[in-house]
């Protein structure tokens, strides 16, 4: 069987491989198609597209937007596929999300400093380079400075929802984000539904609401999903006429997951492409 991977991060957000490197790695893994889905940025598209052409791999310009989950617990990420970077609506959302990251990061660092942890914003900016800065960059500095054993240790101790320096940031409402993805010519897909942390009844209700807002697809295959979860989400996708998608959520060395690890059939890429072309 031929496979694809429709959820990849690069150094444009919190991955560790350059956008131009993703197609090279995908080719080495025998994948036929990839999507770049960096958090809240389109900055990796051009370099990734050029490298995909060079390596003869099918390419989807994508994004992963940070959405307000509307509840204290849970993470809501919205994937957008086939994004045209000229959409005013989407670029305005990206600007808002960039601002909310820029105002949150110093607050996290301040909290860490108050707890006696020695870390500066300059160190984080230096490590992140051109990227949209996220908690994984702060985590990497904490590991480098010996304040955490690993990225996930830094999240449990300091940065995660139960961590001592956790700081919320403003996110976007789905009613605004779904139409913005579509304004950019894209398909809107609910990422890793497990991370919403909703019970089965509440999750189905949420999916129904999102479908009414125009949701196009549901990420069924993801490393956080158990085989049972995958089956449940596959059924929900069928019930609500949503395109099932999947990917590894590869972040390079910042996570242990390998590119291509979800064995997403190329047919999923083909179905997305077909629906997008209609």
- Where does residue 55 rank: exposed (0-12), middle (13-18), buried (19+ CB within 10 A)? middle
Are the CB atoms for 38 and 64 separated by under 8 Å? yes
DSSP helix/strand/coil, 217: strand
| Minimum gap (Å) between residue 136 Cβ and ligand AMP | 5
Compare residues 169 and 276 and give the one whose CB is closer to ligand AMP.
Answer: 169
Are the CB atoms for 194 and 224 separated by under 8 Å? yes
- Among positive and negative, which fits the CA dihedral 222, 224, 229, 233? negative
Scanning 120-128, 130-138, 199-207, 225-233 for contacts with ligand AMP by CB under 6 A, the matching segment is 130-138
Compare residues 82 and 158 and give the one whose CB is closer to ligand AMP.
Answer: 158
151, 172, 178, 207: which one binds ligand AMP (CB under 6 A): 151
| Count of other CB atoms within 10 angstroms of residue 10 | 27
| Minimum gap (Å) between residue 77 Cβ and Zn ion | 9
The packing angle between helices 121-128 and 135-144, to 10°, is 110
CA distance 119 to 134: 15
Q: Which of residues 6-65 bind Zn ion (CB under 5 A)?
A: 14
DSSP helix/strand/coil, 181: helix
Q: Which of residues 3-62 bind ligand AMP (CB under 6 A)?
A: 14, 39
Q: Which of residues 62-91 bind ligand AMP (CB under 6 A)?
A: none
| Minimum gap (Å) between residue 136 Cβ and Zn ion | 6
Indicate the residue whose CB is closest to ligand AMP: 134
Contact letters for ligand AMP, residues 154-183 (x by CB under 6 A): -x----x-----------------------
Q: Residue numbers of the site for ligand AMP (CB under 6 A)?
A: 14, 39, 134-136, 151-152, 155, 160, 251
């Amino acid at each position: 069987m031929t496979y694809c991977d429709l959820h990849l991060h690069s150094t444009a957000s919190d991955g560790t491989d350059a956008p131009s490197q993703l197609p090279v790695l995908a080719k080495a893994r025998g994948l036929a198609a990839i999507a770049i889905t960096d958090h809240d940025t389109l900055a990796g598209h051009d370099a990734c597209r050029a490298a995909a052409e060079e390596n003869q791999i099918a390419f989807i310009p994508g994004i992963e937007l940070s959405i307000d989950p509307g509840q204290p617990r849970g993470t809501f990420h919205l994937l957008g596929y086939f994004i045209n970077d000229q959409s005013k609506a989407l670029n305005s959302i990206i600007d808002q999300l960039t601002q909310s990251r820029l105002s949150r990061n110093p607050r996290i660092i301040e909290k860490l400093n108050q707890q006696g942890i020695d870390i500066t914003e300059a160190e984080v900016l230096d490590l992140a380079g051109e990227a949209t800065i996220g908690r994984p960059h702060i985590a990497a500095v904490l590991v480098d400075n010996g304040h955490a054993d690993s990225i996930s240790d830094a999240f449990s101790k300091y940065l995660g929802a139960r961590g001592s320096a956790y700081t919320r940031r403003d996110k976007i409402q789905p009613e605004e984000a779904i139409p913005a993805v579509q304004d950019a010519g894209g398909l809107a897909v609910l990422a890793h539904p497990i991370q919403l942390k909703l019970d089965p009844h509440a999750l189905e209700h949420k999916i129904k609401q999102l479908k009414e807002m125009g949701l196009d697809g549901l990420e069924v295959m993801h490393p956080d999903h158990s085989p049972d979860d995958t089956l449940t989400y596959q059924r929900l996708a069928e019930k609500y006429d949503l395109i099932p998608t999947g990917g590894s959520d590869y972040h390079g060395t910042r996570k242990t997951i390998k590119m291509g690890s979800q064995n997403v059939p190329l047919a999923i890429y083909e179905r997305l492409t077909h629906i997008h072309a209609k």
